Amino acid sequence: MTDEARLTGDAAWKAQRDSIDQHNVAAKQRARERTAATNAVSERERRLAAQEELQLRALNARLGDRG
C-alpha cells in the first residue's frame, strides 16, 4: 500500500488538496510557457510584416522614380 492509501480523515483530505494544488501549479506553468511561445511567434510575425512593408515601400519608390 502507498502512504496515501493509508491516510484517513483530515490527512487524506490534505494530501488530496496538496495533489490538486501541485497539479494546478503545473498546469498554470504550462499555460504561461504556451502563452510566451505564442507571443514570441506573434511578435516575430509583426516584425517580418513591418520589414516586408518597408521593402515594398522602397521598391515602390524606386519604381515610381522610373515613371
**Residue 2: pLDDT band with limits 50, 70, 90:** low
pTM check: above 0.75: no
pLDDT tens per residue across span 19-64:
999 999 999 999 999 999 999 999 999 999 999 999 999 999 999 8
HEC string of the chain equals: CCHHHHCCHHHHHHHHHHHHHHHHHHHHHHHHHHHHHHHHHHHHHHHHHHHHHHHHHHHHHHHHHHC
31 close to 39: Cβ distance less than 8 angstroms? no
Q: Report pLDDT for 67.
A: 64
Q: Report pLDDT for 7.
A: 84
**Residue 3: pLDDT band with limits 50, 70, 90:** low
